[in-house]
Structure 1
Amino acid sequence: MIKVGIVGLGKMGLSHVAMIRAHPDVSVEAVVDSTGYVLDVLSKYTGLRTFSGMQEMLDAVELDAVIIATPTRLHAGMVRTALEAGVSVFCEKPLTLTSAESVELAELARSRGLVTQVGYHNRFVGAFQEVKKLLDAQAIGRVTHVLAEAYGPVVLKPKGSTWRSQRSEGGGCLYDYAAHPIDLVTWYLGAPTGVGGTVLGSVFSAETEDEVFSTLYFPDGVSGQVSVNWSDESYRKMTTRITLWGTQGRIHADRQECQVYLREEATAPEGYEPGWNVRYTTELTDEVWFYLRGEEYSAQLDAFVKRVQNRDLDGTNSFASAAVTDRVLELMVTDAAAGPRTLATGDAPVPVAPAPARTRAGTAVALLQHGLQVARAGGRTLVARLRKSS
């Protein structure tokens, strides 16, 4: 039996408690949360040992692994504490707020022979897994472009402040939702070489963005676009989908199905033929021991448990792969703060310095600095034209 502790009892934390407690190879030994009421209820009705601090739990209980489902801002310190205690870690996404921290934690875990996994559950959805298999088989030839989308009715009016409404806490549309389709893109195509044209727009939120649009650049001229809006009430629930174009066809997938169009000259994988093909998630998904919200949530925990049992350091959604996604999120924040690079005036693009700040104030300062640079450049151009005309 794998002895597990769970840290953070919000929506995802409680979901993990329900799923992992039902796992036949797991014993949940303890839970951690800062809310006394939640701990009292769990203690009374489940008999679980409860703690208000993670270090307190690690000192008192022998564990093989922990599941961390706290606000992103707290991930880095908690993950490090667990790894230094010799405990494997499943952490909710995104891993940390800086890719440097994520890389450092990945290296620490590997040096200690500990298993790591991050909760990008879409990699366990049957249709998205089928996309990966088709790409590995080069079913659509050389990929030329990818479109990653997510839309849904998450924020439809101004709300009070929670960690999800503050980018500095790891919330906001970028870190809380766009991270999912972006992670699928990095799984399929690897790390982009750069990003451009990023827009982080506010619809209802005051402290963060509600919509994310960006272009990703990959080696060999491959491009990608990200389009995410969590303030779109035309969708009943959050919907993620991926479309890839290649020299021999096209793939479109969401949680329900994987649609594949293959040209006549394409080498069709087994079970496929030229023209349109459809594979449904129901036929691509293995049964799980416990269903809650979707098979993929249980499947990712099962994969983690098996890896801990086998000391398998290499697997789906490791800290190393999550660090790649974290880097893309960083690049997009910097790119958005820099503003437009090619100006409508026809003047040469204005060079801008990266904006390291992740807060709303930091972004505002970066935008102001960029505006001043644009104004100075425009002023110099105007003076030159006046001198030339005189």
Structure 2
Amino acid sequence: MNTLRAAIVGLGKMGLSHAAILTAQPQVDMVAVCDTSVIVTSAFKKYGKAKVYGDFRKMLRNENLDLVVIATPTKLHYDMVRAALEHGVHVFCEKPFSLNSAEGQELVQLAESKGLVNQLGYHNHFIGTFREMKRLLENGVIGELVHFSGEAYGPVVTKEKVGTWRSKSSEGGGCLFDYASHVLNLLQEVVGRPVKINGSLLKQIYSKGVEDAVYTLLTLENGLTGTLLVNWSDETYRKMSTSLTVQGKNGKIVCDATEIKIYLKQANAAEGLEAGWTVKWITDLAIPVGYYLRGEEYSAQIEYFVANVRRQQPGTINTFEQGLYTDKVIEMIQNAA
């Protein structure tokens, strides 16, 4: 395949990061960007080479794109993703996928019917420690599983305020959509898909219209039960901290973005693991990338997406279908609260 024609819509924090990473990809030409902010687009007009648009559909009509990265607010995902797919454009969309599963289901079917590459921005799947945890669990290193916990804490909303999208559930605001979705998606692909909510608390701490904390009891498709514990109003954390813990009859695994700790009752020679605790660091497990920004996982996910577009073959990591399932679990939690 020749040089890929790419574009980005939504030039906020994530969109700007994606723009830098995408521009660094070999044989990818970022021909267009789209945003309604004059401050942002004026900078691209002055310093960039990409054509600047304020109208997404006009950009699709004019640019003959191979791929597009959609990093707009969640409330805009459905219309934009659908328009891109209908134009035959491969789509990378930020998380969460959609505000309701009916819209998400339509987009999944449309992408599949057209054979287009589709991917969501759940970047934790490109962090080496979580990938190692998934591999160890698949190999049965800690034996029969008995319990799990998925957790995330951070200082996102630490005082009462109004007027931002984070305080509006209709725009994808709230801890459940914005924060807990990361943990749910990671859980479903590393440990197992939730099929039942056994109880859920959505707590308001500072926000008025949305929740600031999510505490849920889950049952997975394999029968395993455990907890989801997420709070974005926790000032004891400097930034978002996501972790998974899984207890088995033969040991335990505790994993976050920086390290994975494995406890075994007996040594596992095949894995080179001794009895007791073994710690593996992200520096030994990180995915090599050609361009580093914020964390290798952000570049790795874009490189994976671009590689699949070149192959003209949808990938198996962070697909629309997987994101749709996360959205369905979110709805289950809302209904149980």
The answer to whether the superposition gives a TM-score over 0.5 is: yes
Q: Does structure 1 retain, via aligned residues, the 8 Å contact 2:134–2:191?
A: no
How many Å separate the matches in 2 of 1:47 and 1:160? 37
What amino acid does structure 2 have at the position aligned with 1:2?
A: L
Q: Structure 2 stretches of 5 or more lacking a match? A: none
User: 1:335 corresponds to which residue?
Assistant: 336
Q: Does 1:314 align with 2:331?
A: no
Of residues 179, 182, 185 in structure 2, which corresponds to 1:183?
A: 185
Name which of structure 1's ranges 224-233 and 96-105 shifts more when overlaid on structure 2: 96-105
1:179 partner amino acid:
S
**Gap change, CA 1:144 and 1:46, over 3 Å in 2:** same
AA aligned to 1:328 is V
Q: How does 1:88-99 map to 2 (within 5 A)?
A: 88-99=90-101
TM-fit CA distance, 1:106: 1.4
Matched residue, 1:30:
32
The residue that corresponds to 1:6 in the other structure is: 8
- Alpha-carbon distance in structure 2 between the residues aligned to 1:143 and 1:99: 30
User: How much identity, in percent, do the aligned residues show?
Assistant: 48
Unmatched tracts of structure 1, length 5 or more: 337-390
* Corresponding position: 1:102 with 2:97: no
Measure how far apart 1:165 and its partner are: 2.0
State the secondary structure of the residue aligned to 2:194: coil
Check the 8 A contact 1:123/1:184 in 2, yes or no: yes
Partner of 1:73: 75
Q: How does 1:164-179 map to 2 (within 5 A)?
A: 164-179=166-181
1:189 deviates by 3.0
SS in 2 for 1:221: coil
Partner of residue 57, structure 1: 59
Correspondence for 1:222: 224
Q: CA deviation at 1:273?
A: 2.6
* Residue of structure 2 in register with 1:152 after alignment: 154
* Equivalent in the alignment of 1:280: 281
CA distance in 1, matches of 2:226, 2:269: 24
Q: Which has the larger radius of gyration?
A: 1
The aligned residue for residue 373 of structure 1 is none
- How far the C-alpha of 1:268 sits from its partner, in A, is 5.2
Residue type matched to 1:102 in 2?
Answer: G
Paired residues of 1:307 and 1:315 also in contact (CA < 8 A): no
Please give the alpha-carbon distance, in whole angstroms, between the structure 2 residues aligned to 1:200 and 1:139: 34
**Secondary structure in 2 matching 1:329:** helix
What TM-score, normalized to structure 2?
0.96
CA RMSD across the alignment: 1.3
| CA distances 1:64-111 after superposition (whole Å, capped 9, x unpaired) | 111000111111111010000000100000110122322221121111
Partner of 1:85: 87
| Aligned counterparts of 1:78 and 1:164: Cα–Cα separation in 2 | 21
User: Number of paired residues?
Assistant: 335
Q: Take 2:253 and 2:17, find their aligned partners in 1: how far apart are those partners?
A: 32
Cα displacement (A) at 1:135:
1.0
Moved over 3 A (4+): 266-269
- Give the distance between the partners of 1:150 and 1:217, measured in 2 at CA: 19
Per-residue deviation at 1:38?
1.4
User: Distance between the aligned counterparts of 1:42 and 1:54, measured in 2?
Assistant: 16
Q: Which fold has the larger relative contact order, with Cα–Cα distance below 8 Å and residues 6 or more apart in sequence?
A: 2
In 1, are the aligned partners of 2:118 and 2:320 still within 8 Å (CA)?
A: yes
TM-score scaled by structure 1?
0.83
In 1, Cα distance between equivalents of 2:50 and 2:260: 41
